[in-house]
Amino acid sequence: MAITRLGPNQDITAAKIAGTINFKNIVINGDMSIAQRGTSFSSVTSTQYTLDRWRWTPGSGTGTFTLSQDTDVPTGQGFANSFKADCTATATPTGTNSIGLKTRFEGQMLQYLKKGTANAESLTLSFWVKSNKTGTYIAELEDNDNSRTINKSYTINSANTWEKKTITYAGDTSGTLNNDNGLSFTVVYYINAGPDLQSGTLQTSWGSLVPANRAVGQVNLADSTDNNWWITGVQLEADTSASDFEFLPFDVNLRRCQRYYALLTGRLYLMENRDGGNKGIVFPYPQTMRTTPTISYTLSEGSLYQNNSTQYMLSLSFGSQSTGGHSDLQNTTVEAEL
């Protein structure tokens, strides 16, 4: 069999690979392609993780929505999915109540931003958005370790038209991020906001969190059941301008999501216990979890003991019994969200 060798101009170099995927995007699942929990969530009025790494956080009396993974996307941009919010019951938020679509990050993932130093990196947020509700919307960066925010607006100009938005935020020379696996940083897309979040001046430079300055000018997407809002292609990068969206292979994107939530598909069969002692198995999670996860599962019969004391694997065993036993382990999830 003949072997074809690459010529001098055909080498697959590290530089070429790095130019394709640099993991420059801080946001995980910005293309809305991973939906382990499901593709539709109806009558949502309380905090709900929806598509992977995205958290819907409504305050009291802020409206009812159906949230879904949708196939309405900007034409010719390479996206297959978007996140859709469909208002199904109206409300006018009061006080500091609001709805935010959030994605949250560990501090140890963001040390390269040099936040809290003289060399703090600027950040640029870019995304595609669409709604029938035109007007002003707010996108916030929040430093959870130091209770600091920066809040900037974007405008949906044309109803029911995909528009690309780019927002640049200056680097923050105050407040370092903790170098650990805890919650340190959040991106917030406001959907609506009560008057106590709009009574001041929009805080377009980093500063201490002031409720009145967080969402000045924000429209109320919950003022009509005709309202819908879509978003996809969310990218946050350390730069003063936006680059093209960084598409990751589906399996790579999935593994990054599984650090925080994993659906263990199929069934796990536990062997019969014939000697009266404990028997069971140990199996690894598909990805190292952010922290020791919470476990949810359904058994077809019998009882089971679990030991989920690590971030790496789950130990399962039957209790002592002389007659043996078995069970199918189904609908298993492990969760270690921020």
* Alpha-carbon separation of residue 227 from 72, 81, 207, 219 (angstroms): 15, 19, 33, 11
Element (H or E) spanning 151, and its range? strand 148-156
- For 129-156, b/e burial (b = at least 16 CB within 10 A) is bbbebeeebbbbbbbbbbebbbbbbbeb
pTM: 0.91
Please check the confidence at residue 326 and state whether its pLDDT lies above 60: no
CA distance 4 to 7: 9
pLDDT of residue 121: 98
Average pLDDT value for residue range 48-66: 98
Q: What would the mean pLDDT of 127-132 be, rounded to a whole number?
A: 99
Could you report the per-residue pLDDT of 146-185, keeping only the tens digit for each?
999 999 999 999 999 999 999 999 999 999 999 999 999 9
Going by pLDDT thresholds of 50, 70 and 90, the confidence category of residue 21 is confident
| Banded pLDDT at 337 (limits 50, 70, 90) | very high
More confident residue, 106 or 327: 106
Q: What is the DSSP string of 164-190?
A: EEEEEE----S-PPPSSSSEEEEEEEE
Average pLDDT, the chain: 89
Task: Quote the CA–CA distance of 132 and 166 in Å, as a whole number.
Answer: 20
According to DSSP, the residues that pair with 263 across neighbouring strands are 333
Percent of the chain with pLDDT over 90: 75
What is residue 189's predicted lDDT score, i.e. its pLDDT?
A: 99
The DSSP line for 225-284 is TT-EEEEEEEEEEESSSPPPP-PPPHHHHHHHHTTTEEEE-S-EEPPP--SSS--EEEEE
Torsion of CA 73, 77, 81, 87, to 10 degrees: -30
Does the CA dihedral 34-36-41-45 come out positive or negative?
negative
The pLDDT value recorded for residue 8 is 43
pLDDT at 12 over 50: no
- The pLDDT tens digits of the residues spanning 189-228 come to 999 999 999 999 999 999 999 999 999 999 999 999 999 9
